[in-house]
Chain A
Amino acid sequence: MSETETNAGDPAPPLAVAAPKRGLTVGVVAVIAAIFVAFPLLVTDPTTTSIAFFALVFMVAASAWNIFSGYSGYLALGHAVFFGTGGYAVAVAARDWHVAGGWPVFVLVLFGGLVAGLIAIPVGLVALRTRRHTFVVVTIAIFFIFQLAAFNLSFTGGTSGILLPLAPFSAANFNTPFYYVALVILILTVVTSWLVRRSRFGLQLLAIRDDEDRALGLGVKTRRLKLTAFVISAVPIGIVGGLYFDFVGQIYPQFAFDPLFDLSIALMAFLGGLGTIVGPLLGALVLESLQQYLTQTFSSSATYLIAYGVLFLVVILIMPRGVVPGVSALLERRRVKAAVNASAERDAKVPGGVAGAAQ
């Protein structure tokens, strides 16, 4: 333990444990990325890759939703509008432009994202005139408006909906291309989220979250910022919506615009940690996989529902800010405690250098 020898004249070492090097962080991220990339090659069971695909879709959705609701503090419970709109845009385009299944449709999902983003502008303009709980309800109302429109307008196929073109992938490897496309979208979304967080734009959003009136008073252009964040959050959801419905092969109104979707992504983001980058990813990954697994295993719906509900209650009440901040805080406390102890030990050793040097 010669490293901890101190001489009377040396300044006390800093309280905090030295931060791991930059390289180590990048290394860990790279490892995780590698796991994600290699996953379908290692695990070929189609059920697992299917669930993995759904998990990726929800990770994108939760993460994108977080860009708006997490950073600005406005709880939007109508983002299923963009999910469904993206899906319908792809389905209608594939039908009317005679797009073949498979990779051509993958290109088309970008169009789905574009349409979703464009729709987000008028929706955002209307919804963002209100605040707080009124805003929540307005987003819900707009959601129902879209669902009803899908039922009633003829080009959406009404109640039967639209079938999407069949992708020509083989049975054994069907899920893999979907998985990778979703993964690419996920990476792009996470990078966007990170960039927003680090930027001045993100800081202003957080200011709105903390105290909007104050931010307004400080000269922050709240309306424009909120709308921008709203639109940014809509695009990935639209893209991934197109992909999702292409995977299932069918889209119809109550499936495309499902209130449970809104609640799910909100729950995922909350569970993981609203406003963090990793939080929504974590929440979505765990919840979506768990939900699919539980539904398959417990054919009795009652057990599954009760388990699901109780799990939420437990997490929400014990870690109300989500898993990531909650565990972070816990470890932070431990770390501080350890550092305080260490420093107290050092102080105890300092008077009389003999005691320290004797180690």
Chain B
Amino acid sequence: MSFTALLQAIVDGILTGGVYALMAAGLTLIFGVMDIINIAQGVMVILGAYLSYELSVHLGIGLLPGLLITVPFMFGLGVAVEFCFMRRLRDQDRTQMSILVTYAVAIVIEGILTAIFGVDYVQLQASYVNSSVHIFGFYLADIYLIGFALAVALLAGLYYLLYRTKFGRSVRASLQNRTAADLIGINVNRVRTISVGIGVSVTAVGGMVFGATNSFNPNTGYDLISRLLAIVIMGGMGSIGGAMAAAVFILVINDVVAVVWSPTWAPLVYFVALVIVLSFRPQGLFGRSAVRAQ
């Protein structure tokens, strides 16, 4: 087992971690702002991938330009889901009920995707999907570099939004104390709706990168959501940076163990890592120590 292989694994882990961070970012945002676990995030990523697929195959629109259409579409979907379903959840059993509601939404979306696209696997094709950059004797796949760059850019953008804008302040205020935020004039409902919209629109980008690097069909969403949940919880609820760090951490562990030991044990190692982290730091690596009850 060579050093090259190990180094390659670490680099791969970092790059793929970026892609997963992209997908998890939305989840953690929704989680943090709404106290809602969006089980549908996985299938929404797939929906985003299918949208990119349709645009590129039937309208000839490239993957990156296509985002200009898919991102607003997914934003709209997020707003619709929040308005129709999430809003109706009372604050008391919110998180637990949200699991059921979003699971039901996920099933419906999967059903619709199956009805329209069938169960055949598809993959996004673009000229740069197979090309790679040669650096220091390693080949780094272009698509992962693009994905990683997109991830960093988006996460930075989100961070800026949350911490440097008025809107972001409203979001954080509603997050900390809904009643107080209401009292000082923040339209909490609107803030929440927009936050969910943003959280879901990110899946459009994640879907595009995921779809370019994996074959997928409507069923693939289930595999994704467990990883995304692990990443979000480990990183800390509501922490965007935490999601990035956790994603890279988990993916690097996964890839290194796969290379050093065996791919079949790799997921087990990171799940064990997750359990250990949570046992000692229940709020995740970067989560805020509970303001609200843990």
- Residues of A participating in the B interface, judged by any CB pair closer than 8 Å: 75, 77, 126, 129-134, 136-138, 140-142, 144-145, 148-149, 151-152, 213, 259, 263, 266-267, 270, 300-306, 308-310, 312-313, 316-317, 320
Contact of A134 among B88, B104, B268, B278 (CB under 8 A): B278
A132 touches B114 (CB 8 A): no
> DSSP class of A's interface residues: helix, strand, loop or mixed?
helix
The B268-294 residues at the A interface (CB cut-off 8 A) are: 268, 271-272, 274-275, 278-279, 282-284, 293-294
Q: Is B115 an interface residue (CB 8 A)?
A: yes
Are A305 and B111 CB-contacts (below 8 A) given A144-B226, A145-B272, A320-B89? yes
B233 touches A137 (CB 8 A): yes
Are A270 and B100 CB-contacts (below 8 A) given A134-B282, A134-B283? yes
The residue on B at minimum CB distance from A123 is B275
The B168-210 residues at the A interface (CB cut-off 8 A) are: none
Contacts of B93 in A (CB 8 A): 320
Contact of A306 among B89, B97, B101, B111 (CB under 8 A): B111
Jot down 30 A-B pairs with beta carbons below 8 A, ordered by A.
A129-B278, A129-B279, A132-B294, A133-B31, A133-B233, A134-B283, A136-B99, A137-B233, A137-B274, A138-B275, A138-B279, A140-B229, A141-B230, A145-B268, A145-B272, A148-B264, A148-B265, A152-B262, A152-B264, A152-B265, A152-B268, A213-B293, A259-B226, A266-B100, A308-B107, A309-B111, A313-B104, A316-B97, A317-B85, A320-B97
Number of chain B residues close to chain A: CB under 8 A: 47
Bound Cα distance from A317 to B237, whole angstroms: 26
A145 touches B271 (CB 8 A): yes
A133 touches B37 (CB 8 A): yes
Are A305 and B114 CB-contacts (below 8 A) given A213-B293, A320-B89? yes
Q: Is B8 an interface residue (CB 8 A)?
A: no
List the 3 shortest-distance A-B pairs measured between CB atoms, nearest first: A305-B111, A309-B108, A309-B107
Q: Tell me the minimal C-beta distance from A78 to chain B in angstroms.
A: 11
The residue on B at minimum CB distance from A133 is B95
Q: Tell me the minimal C-beta distance from A220 to chain B in angstroms.
A: 16
Contacts of B282 in A (CB 8 A): 129-131, 134
Are A305 and B107 CB-contacts (below 8 A) given A141-B271, A142-B275? yes
Q: Is B166 an interface residue (CB 8 A)?
A: no
Q: Tell me the minimal C-beta distance from B209 to chain A in angstroms.
A: 24
Are A301 and B268 CB-contacts (below 8 A) given A130-B279, A306-B108, A309-B107? no
Contacts of B265 in A (CB 8 A): 148, 152
Contacts of B108 in A (CB 8 A): 305-306, 309-310, 313
Bound Cα distance from A136 to B256, whole angstroms: 27
Contacts of A312 in B (CB 8 A): 100, 103-104, 107
